[in-house]
Chains A and B, each alone.
Chain A
Amino acid sequence: MRYLTDRKRAIGNGSAREGTTRHWNMTVSSYGLLVLVPLFLIAFAPMIGASYAEVTAHFAKPFPAIVTALTLWMGMMHFKNGSRTMIEDYVHGYQRELFIILASVASYAIAATGVFAILKMAL
Chain B
Amino acid sequence: MADVNRGNRPLSPHLTIYRLPITAITSILVRITGNALLISAALVVWWLLAAATSESYFDLANAVITSFLGDLVMLLSLLGLWYHTLGGIRHLIWDQIIALENVPAEKMSWAMLIGSVVLTALTVVLV
Contact = CB atoms under 8 A, between A and B. Distances in A.
B49 interface: yes
A44 B41 CA distance: 12
A106 B34 CA distance: 15
Contacts of A67: none
A72 B34 CA distance: 14
Contact of B127 (A37, A45, A68, A114): A45
B41 A110 contact: yes
Contacts of A100: none
A106 B44 CA distance: 14
Interface string A99-121: 00000001000100110111011
Interface in A25-78: 27, 30-31, 33-34, 37, 41-42, 44-46, 48-49, 52, 55-56, 59, 68, 72, 75-76
Interface residues of B, number: 30
Contact of A82 (B34, B81, B89): B34
Interface in B54-91: 55, 58-59, 62, 65-66, 74, 78, 81, 85, 88-89, 91
A114 B95 contact: no
27 contacts: A27-B95, A30-B88, A30-B92, A37-B81, A41-B81, A41-B123, A41-B127, A45-B78, A46-B127, A48-B66, A49-B62, A49-B66, A52-B51, A52-B62, A59-B51, A72-B41, A72-B44, A76-B41, A79-B41, A82-B35, A83-B38, A110-B42, A110-B45, A113-B45, A116-B52, A117-B48, A117-B52
Interface of A: 27, 30-31, 33-34, 37, 41-42, 44-46, 48-49, 52, 55-56, 59, 68, 72, 75-76, 79, 82-83, 86, 106, 110, 113-114, 116-118, 120-121
